[in-house]
A and B are shown apart, each in its own frame.
Chain A
Amino acid sequence: MKKYRTVSLFNPFRLWKYLFKKPVSHDMEDIFTKKNREVLRKDTFLKLKPKRESSPRTAPANLRGFHTNDWDKCIGCGTCEDICPTKAIEMVERLDVPDKEGSFQVRPTIDYGRCCFCALCVDTCTTDSLNMSNEYIYASDDADNFKFLPQSTFLGEEVDMGWQKDEVSNLLDKERVKMDHVLPSDRKSSFVEVVKGYSKEYAMAEAARCVECGVCTSSCPVQMHIPAYIKSIWENDVEAGLRQIYETNPLPGVCGRVCTHNCETSCSIAVNGEAIAIRWLKRYIIDSAPTDMYEKMISQDVSEVIDAKVAVVGSGPAGLGAAYYLRLMGYNVDVYEEMALAGGVMRYGIPAYRLPDTSIDKDINFIKSIGVNILTNKRVGKDISMDQLEKDYDSVFLGTGFFKVRNLNIPGADHKDVIGAMDFLPQVRDFERGVLKLEDIDVAESVVVIGGGDVAFDVARSATRLQMLKYGKTDVKLTSLENEDALPASMDELIEGGEEGIEFFCGNGPQEVMQKNGKVTGLRLWKCLCVFDTAGRFNPEFDDECEQVIAGKQIYIAIGQAPDYDYLPESLSSKVKIERGKIKADDNGQVSDVPWLFVGGDILRGPDLISGVADGHRAAKAIDSYLYKQAKDKKSYKKVEEMREAAIHNTPGFTPKQQARK
């Protein structure tokens, strides 16, 4: 924009048009609305018709008159309430507006006794729903009538717009602070973490963008109090941030990297700009918190104060979530893990370039340090039986997840070079740890990955790296039923995967694994017309005339994972109901016919890591209410009692999305 406009030589003549224009002036007599005519004209005897009706009033287009608020746009974030210098705005609760992710069921009221018409509320409105009209006349003899709940009309009348936010008056910072990524050419041949993380200055700059409205909290499955820890970053107080995070999330280092970040989707700044990088800010706190800061966090020993023992099967997000909160409440917790390292899918499913071992270790070490006992290389059902657990413990929590490969039923799929994601990814992690050598992993020069979720991208991008190391060049194709714009995987994966040279064949359904002389040569695809039928069920429809064959010597299948209930003994599996792979239980994960058995994570609800932590927390609270009454020995140390209460208090409710799914 030019600072000074160049004006035409004829500009002065332009003004002549005003020569014959009628000057704008209104008699005071005419200036009243239907709403206030009685007050203004109380003393007049004659009430003429034109005076009874609303008269037009003229005001400049940017007049800061009475507010209007478009309720369809308003998300009740309350930023207007916070900025108001005279505290004229107060949010009132309206449960009649729909409960959606990324919004609160509150709307602003304005007290015009206090309002100074500064328009800061308009300039900071995150959704541009709050505006000012050019309506400026209102009279009443009752002071209470000056408090309004603005809607898109002013007192039921359509009004012209007055002051509206523009680029100059806007107070929100809509652009995210840039995050450094390792360049595709560098990261393709190693498992180095792609996202570099914020420095202190960058994190503080990003934190400064947050308006602290907290609409993100309701969409987070564990309802982390996000504005609190973002504010702590802004105040450069990492320790406070760490404490606030651990109130609701025992796996913050992991979540700071690979969470599905529903919070960012529902961020109020994202309505008109780029969401606050909530996930990366959380990661900043964990990465910059030294170990001794963790030690300070729980100063008192979390000793066994409640005489009850709980076994947790599976050390994934749900299991660790349950174990952590049970431990905080004073229970004795043993976690059984079949693999050599704790963490479940975090440890064996997600590749290291997204989630390095060090950050998993940091989270799990803290959980261990408060006294959670993790027993690795112990598979329940093999090394110890469920019956034994029932005998030895007062309650058992199952968080065994979906770790088995889901098969694809197409011709040719039972070949050894048709590999499941969950068979491949653990090998990749073990290679990265040095447990396996490059020669041990069988990756062909050209591969095809079937699937459109994050796991499919994990497979494709891991295969890219292994090919780079093995052959010095890559050939990875990815095919999914969904089109690129509707992939279940996150946008980052699509962008980063593309940068690393993955070829996409989205919107196609696999029909046959092509073979020649007993070797896989490729995959035959049909165009996918739609994935779901009209009833919303998964029922893909194909166009067999739009066919193509893509070449590849290996096919990887990442179309979802399945549970493994082999460990459940006969006595139990007859009582436990399993519906579409998930165990039937109440909201908190208590299995109805087996009161001592609790479940959580993928085998109860899914679909992501943080929902698993939430299940674990809810189950911990339910286990506590199941066991606490019966426990004989309840030594009450004040500190521990406080922690128990906090853990119960912070138990998350359901997000609107989960509520709708029920």
Chain B
Amino acid sequence: MNSTNNVDFLKSLVEEKYKVNKTEVIDQYQISFEVEQVEVHRLLSELKLEGWKQLSYLSAIDWIDENEFEMVYIVFNWDRPVHVQIRTRIDRDKPVMNSIMPIFEGCKYYEREAHEMFGIKFPGNPDHEKQLVLEEWDDMPPLRKDFDPQAYSDRKFPVREYNNDFVELNGKKSKQKDRLKRAERIEQVGKRGNK
């Protein structure tokens, strides 16, 4: 069986039985379906029965402007080589997605990671709130788009003064300071007109 047939097979399998919001055929080895949140588990079970037995990855994307997270599940079939992405949008304010542990038990680490990085809760996964890689993290989940890495750095690692060994002026006047001052002034001139 050739690979084009695999994509067609998947399209008819999924699109006939499920309400698909968006189908995207990336190439002969990759296809993506966006479905409603409630259909994810049924669809993943069906794909598993059809041979997509391997959960390759599970993660999320933060669409902050739309106030949504997009969950992405990637499954793979070793007999019919197509990566299938199942995508769904969930609410960003109360991000809850039922765990898929009953279908793919190995998801438990991915779900822990998604919780740590995005703060999504996975009822059904008893360990989902357990820390995975971030030790003693006390800020908002860092892969959320509104996380400010610089502010975090500033809070956790105060700016260190230069070790004087690095600066080498040989008693001469700093040119850098003058240059920055001049640059700043000229930039300001432009903005003045827009008041």
Q: Report which A residues bind B (CB closer than 8 A).
A: 3-4, 85-88, 90-96, 104-106, 109, 111, 113-114, 116, 143-144, 147, 149, 214, 217-218, 223, 225, 227-229, 231-232, 237, 239-241, 243-244, 247-248, 296-297, 646, 649-650
Q: Of the candidates B156, B160, B172, B193, which one forms a contact with A239 in the assembled complex, judged by CB atoms under 8 Å apart? A: B193
Residues of B73-130 at the interface with A, using a CB-CB cut-off of 8 Å, are: none
Q: A94-B167, A94-B168, A144-B160 are in contact. Are A106 and B189 (CB under 8 A)?
A: no
CA A85 to CA B153, docked complex, whole Å: 9
For A91, the chain B residues whose CB sits under 8 A away are: 176
A-B interface, 3 closest residue pairs, ranked by CB to CB distance from nearest: A240-B190, A113-B157, A86-B153
Instruction: Known pairs A218-B179, A237-B190; list 19 more (Cβ under 8 Å).
Output: A87-B150, A87-B154, A92-B166, A92-B167, A93-B167, A95-B168, A104-B179, A109-B162, A111-B157, A113-B157, A113-B160, A114-B157, A149-B166, A225-B182, A227-B183, A239-B190, A240-B190, A244-B189, A247-B186
Closest-CB distance, B180 to chain A (whole angstroms)? 9
Contact A247 B149 (CB under 8 A): no
For B186, the chain A residues whose CB sits under 8 A away are: 225, 228, 244, 247-248, 650
Question: How many B residues touch A, CB cutoff 8 Å?
Answer: 34
Residues of B128-186 at the interface with A, using a CB-CB cut-off of 8 Å, are: 149-150, 152-154, 156-157, 159-160, 162-163, 166-170, 172, 174-176, 179, 182-183, 185-186
Closest-CB distance, A94 to chain B (whole angstroms)? 5
Closest-CB distance, A642 to chain B (whole angstroms)? 11
CA A225 to CA B185, docked complex, whole Å: 10
CB closest chain-B residue, reference A223: B182
Q: A111-B157, A650-B182 are in contact. Are A296 and B193 (CB under 8 A)?
A: yes
- The reply on B27 being an interface residue by CB < 8 A is yes
- The reply on B194 being an interface residue by CB < 8 A is yes
Contact A225 B175 (CB under 8 A): no
Contact A86 B149 (CB under 8 A): yes
- The reply on B192 being an interface residue by CB < 8 A is yes
For B187, the chain A residues whose CB sits under 8 A away are: 225, 228, 231, 244
CA A227 to CA B191, docked complex, whole Å: 14
Closest-CB distance, B48 to chain A (whole angstroms)? 25
Q: A227-B183, A240-B194 are in contact. Are A93 and B154 (CB under 8 A)?
A: no
Contact A93 B150 (CB under 8 A): no
Contact B169 A95 (CB under 8 A): yes
CB closest chain-A residue, reference B150: A87
Contact B194 A239 (CB under 8 A): yes
A-side binding surface: helix, strand, loop or mixed?
Answer: mixed
A-B contact pairs, 19 of them (CB 8 A): A3-B27, A86-B149, A92-B162, A93-B167, A93-B168, A93-B175, A94-B167, A104-B176, A109-B162, A113-B156, A143-B160, A217-B183, A225-B187, A228-B186, A241-B190, A243-B193, A297-B193, A646-B189, A649-B185
Contact A96 B189 (CB under 8 A): no
For A87, the chain B residues whose CB sits under 8 A away are: 150, 153-154, 159
For B167, the chain A residues whose CB sits under 8 A away are: 92-94
CA A109 to CA B166, docked complex, whole Å: 8
CA A580 to CA B157, docked complex, whole Å: 61
Closest-CB distance, B96 to chain A (whole angstroms)? 29
CB closest chain-B residue, reference A228: B187
Closest-CB distance, A344 to chain B (whole angstroms)? 27
CA A241 to CA B189, docked complex, whole Å: 9
Contact A649 B175 (CB under 8 A): no
CA A109 to CA B27, docked complex, whole Å: 44
Closest-CB distance, A387 to chain B (whole angstroms)? 40
Contact A4 B189 (CB under 8 A): no
For B190, the chain A residues whose CB sits under 8 A away are: 228-229, 232, 237, 239-241, 243-244
Contact B192 A144 (CB under 8 A): no
Contact B149 A85 (CB under 8 A): yes
CB closest chain-B residue, reference A224: B186
CA A218 to CA B175, docked complex, whole Å: 11
CB closest chain-A residue, reference B183: A225
Contact A243 B183 (CB under 8 A): no
CB closest chain-B residue, reference A299: B193
Contact A4 B192 (CB under 8 A): no
CA A257 to CA B27, docked complex, whole Å: 48
Closest-CB distance, B108 to chain A (whole angstroms)? 26
Contact A86 B150 (CB under 8 A): yes
Contact A114 B153 (CB under 8 A): yes
CA A106 to CA B154, docked complex, whole Å: 23
Scoring A114, A147, A149, A223 by chain B CB atoms within 10 A of each residue's CB, the highest score goes to A114
CB closest chain-B residue, reference A296: B193
Closest-CB distance, B75 to chain A (whole angstroms)? 19
Q: Of the candidates A96, A144, A239, which one forms a contact with B168 in the assembled complex, judged by CB atoms under 8 Å apart? A: A96
For A104, the chain B residues whose CB sits under 8 A away are: 176, 179
For A225, the chain B residues whose CB sits under 8 A away are: 182-183, 186-187
Closest-CB distance, B161 to chain A (whole angstroms)? 9
